[in-house]
């Protein structure tokens, strides 16, 4: 059995350090918005390269509060992708705004920057690009469109901590960047967590208030906020793990290069492409294959933990049915949804395991061709 992700292997390496950090919090008596959250916020601002970060309860809250902080709500449109996790568009609906779906680039799986402009209306307030699978979007083009049309940009970086576009980390191009520390992410806590990156002090202050019931001063509430504070325990764990993130991302990239080589002879497998001058962090290693559903089943039977991210594009989800999209509206998104499959990818994955994954996948493709 080769799982898509094995968190226990990571814990085996850093468990002692994590346990020490957690015990210190337990003994400290300070469990909410204490010294670890403060330190994590400044360490991550330095790491990502922005003026401020605000630690939150989840990536979903980061997206939601980003929209709130920019006063995006009822009657406003946000241009984004349907080829992502539902939290991206859920946050847009939570604030009462309308997601407008833009098709994707077939090579990068990310929003097709060349198709954004035709979707802009007088109601458009923001563009929400998602750096899917750890691959940066074309931020030059997106920022250029945003500037010309006076739109906000909120980057969904939940899968892309450490990823760079032209030497600059994602989450620092737009007005706000949103990160998740869900346990399976490249920098994952042992529970939920999220973060906002921001350069504007005013926006930072607004998000700090929204995170804690809408008031900057205790028991003075200026607007309706939420409870989205990150726990000290999670912050302490994340501070330990932050020391390893570059090493882990480097391993993921090496594994991606190894997979690419192992698949280079098999013309049925389309391996992921990287944009020029980007640093992808391979949250997922996702290939395109024929007969995907059959082969997915065969891989599962063979003990390979392959997954489909995501099996239904968001414009076809029941939750967004009221938007009125139909099959055929986003042809490239739909086509990719049918043929993508994500293979085991985590820093501790071994070369032997990668060889097994590769040979099993190639075998399954041959078998399914013989059956057809
Ligand atoms: C994980 C993820 C989120 C949500 O993060 P949570 O911390 O689980 O709330 C949002 N967008 C994308 C693209 C994600 O992968």
Per-residue model confidence as pLDDT tens digits over 115-142: 999 999 999 999 999 999 999 999 999 9
For residue 152, which phi and psi values (nearest 5 degrees)? -80, 155
- Rounded (5°) CA angle 170-132-186: 70
Q: What is the pLDDT of residue 218?
A: 87
Nearest atom in ligand 1 to the alpha carbon of residue 87 is 10
Classify domain 245-371 by CATH architecture: Alpha-Beta Complex (3.90)
Beta bridge partners of 342: 286, 307
Nearest atom in ligand 1 to the alpha carbon of residue 181 is 7
Q: Is 58 in the pocket of ligand 1 (CB under 6 A)?
A: yes
- Dist. CA 368 → ligand 1 center (Å): 34
Distance CA(143)–CA(153), nearest Å, equals 8
Can you name the CATH fold of 7-102+109-242?
3.40.640
Question: Before 364, cis peptide (omega within 30)?
Answer: no
Q: What is the pLDDT of residue 217?
A: 87
Q: What is the pLDDT of residue 372?
A: 77
Q: Is 59 in the pocket of ligand 1 (CB under 6 A)?
A: yes
pTM over 0.95: yes
- Dist. CA 269 → ligand 1 center (Å): 27
Count of CB atoms situated within 10 Å of the CB of 148? 10
Q: Is 41 in the pocket of ligand 1 (CB under 6 A)?
A: no
Phi-psi region of 130 (alpha: psi -120 to 50; beta: other; left: phi over 0): beta
Distance CA(108)–CA(131), nearest Å, equals 9
Structure tokens at 346: 């985590």
Residue ranges per structural domain of the chain: 7-102+109-242, 245-371
Closest Cα partner for 327 from 340, 313, 341, 339?
A: 313
Q: Is 186 in the pocket of ligand 1 (CB under 6 A)?
A: no
3-state class (DSSP) for residue 154? strand
3-state class (DSSP) for residue 257? helix
Q: What is the pLDDT of residue 67?
A: 98
Q: What is the pLDDT of residue 27?
A: 98
Nearest atom in ligand 1 to the alpha carbon of residue 131 is 13
Distance CA(222)–CA(73), nearest Å, equals 18
- Dist. CA 220 → ligand 1 center (Å): 31
For residue 28, which phi and psi values (nearest 5 degrees)? -75, -25
Regions of the chain where pLDDT drops below 50:
none
Q: What is the DSSP letter of 311?
A: S
Strand ranges, E, within 82-150 = 98-102, 124-127
E strand or H helix at 286, and its extent?
strand 285-288
CA neighbours closer than 13 Å in the CB half-sphere of residue 348:
14
Q: What is the pLDDT of residue 1?
A: 93
């Amino acid at each position: 059995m080769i799982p898509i992700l094995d968190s226990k292997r990571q814990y085996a390496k850093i468990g002692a350090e994590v346990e020490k950090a957690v015990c210190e919090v337990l003994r400290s008596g300070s469990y909410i918005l204490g010294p670890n959250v403060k330190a994590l916020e400044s360490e991550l601002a330095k790491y990502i390269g922005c003026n401020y970060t605000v630690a939150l309860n989840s990536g979903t809250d980061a997206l939601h509060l980003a929209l709130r902080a920019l006063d995006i709500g009822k009657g406003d449109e946000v241009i984004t992708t349907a080829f992502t996790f539902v939290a991206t568009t859920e946050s847009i609906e939570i604030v009462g705004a309308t997601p407008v779906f833009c098709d994707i680039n077939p090579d990068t799986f990310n929003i097709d920057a060349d198709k954004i402009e035709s979707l802009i209306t007088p109601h458009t307030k923001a563009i929400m690009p998602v750096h899917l699978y750890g691959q940066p979007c074309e931020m030059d083009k997106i920022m250029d469109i945003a500037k010309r049309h006076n739109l906000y940009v909120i980057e969904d970086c939940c899968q892309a901590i450490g990823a760079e576009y032209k030497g600059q980390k994602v989450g620092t191009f737009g007005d706000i960047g949103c990160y998740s520390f869900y346990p399976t992410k490249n920098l994952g806590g042992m529970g939920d967590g999220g973060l906002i990156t921001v350069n504007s002090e005013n926006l930072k202050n607004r998000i700090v208030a929204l995170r804690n019931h809408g008031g900057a001063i205790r028991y003075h509430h200026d607007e309706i906020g939420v409870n989205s504070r990150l726990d000290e325990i999670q912050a302490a764990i994340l501070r330990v793990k932050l020391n390893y993130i570059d090493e882990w991302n480097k391993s993921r990239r090496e594994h991606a290069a190894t997979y690419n080589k192992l698949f280079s002879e098999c013309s049925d497998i389309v391996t992921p492409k990287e944009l020029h001058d980007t640093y992808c962090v391979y949250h997922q290693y996702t290939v395109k294959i024929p007969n995907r559903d059959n082969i997915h089943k065969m891989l599962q039977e063979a003990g390979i933990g392959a997954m489909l991210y995501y099996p239904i594009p968001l414009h076809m989800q029941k939750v967004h049915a009221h938007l009125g999209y139909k099959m055929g509206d986003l042809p490239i998104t739909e086509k990719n949804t049918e043929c993508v499959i994500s293979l085991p990818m985590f820093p501790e994955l071994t070369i032997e395991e990668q060889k097994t994954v590769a040979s099993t996948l190639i075998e399954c493709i041959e078998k399914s061709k013989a059956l057809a």
